[in-house]
A and B are shown apart, each in its own frame.
Chain A
């Protein structure tokens, strides 16, 4: 289980998170939604030590990980993988070397063994044929699949997806959604998905948490969001351009 407890985070004069508390149960797919700049990605980056909170704490499987050192966070990052918004493949490395990197760095495997294992992960996302290609040879959808393969290298217990379907065509987006479902059903992976893709949210989520003005506005199953009488939630879920939401 993951627990964010009263997380506060400020960038300059802007209070991005203002006391966010959120639990993520083991094995569930939790979607964190909200308008752009609401602090969704900021919140999840605290879990893997890419950001540190101004106040509050984070617990992972009952352990307080808020102030672990950078070196101690490397152990957490073996359990919690992240698929970044822009895929963030390393341009100078081939696809297979991108996927092999966590094997080499986290597990200190020799390059050849790391590559053999990386090929198996590329198989999972149907990208074995592109192993020798470079990121510049790939479209956004294919890059995202390679990024997912890289995130899955160490068989993580938790995977964070940061806007996994943004910029993808509907087919590629549906494939990513299927992969998130398959990770849950086949491997019991707990997924935290940052998104504002309504089709994906209501198609995949077990639970949804909406961040608005630095706080959790609503936390519940998709049905609770559809039935919500909160005008802010209603405006976001219905995708109306006008309403009470301040962006």
Chain B
């Protein structure tokens, strides 16, 4: 039996091909994602996102995520303040800067990033599943036949809505975490509300960094999830795989963007 007689899956490929194939696939995926980002932003800039759809998506992405974000950030604020206050009480029983430092960290780091991760899982999976289902049932092809560009029709409204609503959700997250932290600080360590609720350390750079991060996550999540959906193949198994890929990729993107934007913020604001 020769190699030509074997099924393709059993043919042993040369070493270079085995290592090269994933590299080429990775390069193509990155190139396609880059194109999708450009196409989506161009569609938004040209005003092609339907206003009705933007509002519908803003409600879906933003309003429906509020309970999720309030509970998650509230619990995070509760735990963080309790643990930090517990450590401070053992080393230096001075709680005067606890609230100010906590609020600064929330604005700059935790609220946008944790909110981003929450939205990545809830909204990213939904977008990938919806678009993936449309791909495997040929609805995306049908859109093209109707002269409706899938990027303009599906991704542009979601991206615009997500960018704006993630900033709003981050504000909600900061408020929720701060209230939860304030309550546990008072109940657990007797820290007065007015001592905790200080904004001395929160500067323009912290707010700008937090808002920039939230906006960037908001723009990235629908495009990355959308790409996963658009690449779905086969039936329900393909949609499931696309959904998993979307959650992994969007979460990873939030972490990478956090790293990059945090570094940039230190270069720009703290030099």
* B144 A45 Cβ-Cβ under 8 A: no
* B146 A106 Cβ-Cβ under 8 A: yes
| Chain A, interface residues (CB within 8 Å), range | 20 to 34
Residues of B within 8 A of A136 (CB): none
Q: Which residues of B contact A (CB under 8 A)?
A: 8-9, 137-139, 141-149
Smallest CB separation, A231 vs chain B (Å): 23
Q: A82-B142, A88-B137, A106-B147 are in contact. List 9 more A-B contacts (CB 8 A).
A: A12-B8, A45-B141, A50-B141, A70-B149, A77-B145, A78-B147, A88-B138, A90-B143, A102-B147
- A 34-61 binary contact with B (CB < 8 Å = 1; else 0): 0000000000010011100000000000
A-B contact pairs, 27 of them (CB 8 A): A12-B8, A13-B8, A13-B9, A14-B8, A45-B141, A48-B145, A50-B141, A70-B144, A70-B149, A73-B144, A74-B147, A77-B144, A78-B147, A82-B141, A88-B137, A88-B138, A88-B139, A88-B142, A90-B143, A101-B146, A101-B148, A102-B146, A102-B147, A105-B147, A105-B148, A150-B146, A151-B145
| Alpha-carbon distance A91/B260, docked complex (angstroms) | 40
Interface centre among A70, A82, A102, A105 (most CB of B within 10 A): A105
* B9 A90 Cβ-Cβ under 8 A: no
Residues of A within 8 A of B139 (CB): 88, 90
Contact for B141 among A74, A78, A88, A90, CB less than 8 A? A88
* A86 B147 Cβ-Cβ under 8 A: no
* A81 B145 Cβ-Cβ under 8 A: yes
| Alpha-carbon distance A82/B166, docked complex (angstroms) | 39
- A 66-101 binary contact with B (CB < 8 Å = 1; else 0): 000010011001100110111010100000000001
| Alpha-carbon distance A86/B8, docked complex (angstroms) | 31
Smallest CB separation, B229 vs chain A (Å): 16
| Alpha-carbon distance A81/B146, docked complex (angstroms) | 9
| Alpha-carbon distance A99/B244, docked complex (angstroms) | 34
* B147 A77 Cβ-Cβ under 8 A: yes
* B8 A85 Cβ-Cβ under 8 A: no
Nearest neighbor of A49 in chain B, beta-carbon distance? B144
Residues of A within 8 A of B142 (CB): 82, 84, 88, 90
Residues of A within 8 A of B146 (CB): 101-102, 105-106, 150
- A 6-31 binary contact with B (CB < 8 Å = 1; else 0): 00000011100000000000000000
Nearest neighbor of A147 in chain B, beta-carbon distance? B142
| Alpha-carbon distance A106/B144, docked complex (angstroms) | 10
| Alpha-carbon distance A62/B47, docked complex (angstroms) | 37
Nearest neighbor of B7 in chain A, beta-carbon distance? A13
Smallest CB separation, B47 vs chain A (Å): 15
Given contacts A13-B8, A13-B9, A14-B8, contact A86 B138 (CB under 8 A): yes
| Alpha-carbon distance A13/B9, docked complex (angstroms) | 8
Nearest neighbor of B141 in chain A, beta-carbon distance? A50
Smallest CB separation, B132 vs chain A (Å): 15
| Alpha-carbon distance A74/B149, docked complex (angstroms) | 10
| Alpha-carbon distance A165/B72, docked complex (angstroms) | 51
